[in-house]
Structure 1
Amino acid sequence: MSENPVLRDVAAIFPSLHIDLKYATADNLTGAPIYREARCLLHKDAVAALAKSISIAQLAGLSLVVYDAYRPQQAQSILWEVCPDPQYVVDVAIGSNHSRGTAIDVTLKDANGQVLDMGAGFDEMHDRSHAYHPSVPAQAQRNRLLLNAIMFGGGFVGISSEWWHFELPAAAKYPLLDDCIACFSPTTTQHTL
């Protein structure tokens, strides 16, 4: 895998940031690891926005947990194969903003290290994951609003179908990047829902 000059190593820049790359584990919608290595990379422009969001979270006594950032197109292809629903996964033919390094998946944790309840889990491809869904309890709605405010304050925007996904406002104008993280091929690991 080649290095890309616009991508930055998030763990090196923010050593105290909690990074839990779900696609490097089996804790994702495929039920199997997709990434061969747990490298959290992000476009340099998104890193600047993330720095602001981290600071804003700290003002509220909270911190971010990163679930995904830059995503190789090979990984996007695996996700599309498992969940070919454009409401939740972008067709690899179009290209995900994660594959541009301009999108990040996050949640919040409190000062005690407890992840806040968002009313639906990461990668839960269900209506409950949609913003402002009426079945989400009030406290989880408040947590989502807080996460949105923190990410918006840094310069990100959310999407309507996934409470955890944020991207730069002009994310799709950035070019798709060459794969910089090794992935498992669909034939090496069985990916099923």
Structure 2
Amino acid sequence: MYNEKGNLVKLVEMDNEFIIYLKYATTDNFTGQKIYNSGECWIDKHTAEILIKAKNIFKTAGYRVKVWDAYRPISAQAKFWEIMPNHDFVAKPPDMRKIKKFRPTHMNGLCVDITLTDLDGNDIAMPSEFDDMTERASLNCIKTSEEGRKNATYLKEVMESVGFLAYDKEWWHFYDVSTEPTPFMDFQI
């Protein structure tokens, strides 16, 4: 049995082959601050299941999956917005008193930020660094390396084949669009 919080489970309890490096549990992120209390990766259970499918495809091709972010508390999203109110890269936290319909976001564990590594855990070339809030983060940016774009395109193709949708402004960000969105939460990690 898994540890569960609503629709959330710990990813490593479902599959321990992921590299978990939650950027917001460190100071190595755009805020320069540690936002999360721990590096435990919580994620919607269905989202974890399809991420495991993608991980297995990547593994057969000689890659591992590194997870930079999954579930994010509403309060963390509010802190991000306070630091950088930019709709292209940071979602404005919702007013929970007014929200009528939910969508896949980090705040319900239905989004993941990931990259690929080789089997030894070394990052492979991608268009930009994580949290690069410039045009370089987009797959459509021609100012990035051909190898990085090729790798990010492969990442996108596999993720979309299992039920995710890529975000066009961030090559690392994927929405689980194959399940019904659940309410947002403020469970602290």
Q: Structure 1 length as normaliser, TM-score? A: 0.87
- 8 A contact 2:19–2:121 mirrored in 1: no
Shift in Å at residue 170 of structure 1? Answer: 5.7
Query: Which of 126, 139, 151 is 2:147 aligned to?
Result: 139
- Is 2:107 aligned against 1:106? no
- 8 A contact 1:52–1:153 mirrored in 2: no
- 8 A contact 2:159–2:165 mirrored in 1: yes
Specify which structure has the higher proportion of strand. Answer: 2
Q: For residues 115-134 of structure 1, what are the alpha-carbon distances to aligned partners after superposition, in whole Å with 9 as ceiling and x for unaligned? A: 01112110111110012211
- Is 2:8 aligned against 1:7? yes
SS of corresponding position for 1:163: strand
- 8 A contact 2:68–2:113 mirrored in 1: yes
Q: For residues 143-177 of structure 1, what are the alpha-carbon distances to aligned partners after superposition, in whole Å with 9 as ceiling and x for unaligned? A: 11111122112211101110100011267x61333
SS of corresponding position for 2:184: coil
Query: Which of 67, 84, 105 is 1:97 aligned to?
Result: 105
- 8 A contact 2:137–2:171 mirrored in 1: yes
Structure 2 unpaired stretches of 5+: 96-101
Structure 1 unpaired stretches of 5+: 183-193
| Number of positions where the alignment pairs a residue of Structure 1 with one of Structure 2 | 179
Q: Work out the CA distance in 2 between the residues paired with 1:133 and 1:176.
A: 34
Q: For residues 99-138 of structure 1, what are the alpha-carbon distances to aligned partners after superposition, in whole Å with 9 as ceiling and x for unaligned? A: 0110000000012321011121101111100122110110
- Is 2:25 aligned against 1:24? yes
- Is 2:117 aligned against 1:116? no
Q: Work out the CA distance in 1 between the residues paired with 2:125 and 2:79.
A: 28
Comparing both chains, which one has the higher relative contact order based on Cα–Cα distances under 8 Å and sequence gaps of 6 or more? 1
Shift in Å at residue 16 of structure 1? Answer: 2.1
Q: Work out the CA distance in 2 between the residues paired with 1:125 and 1:60.
A: 29
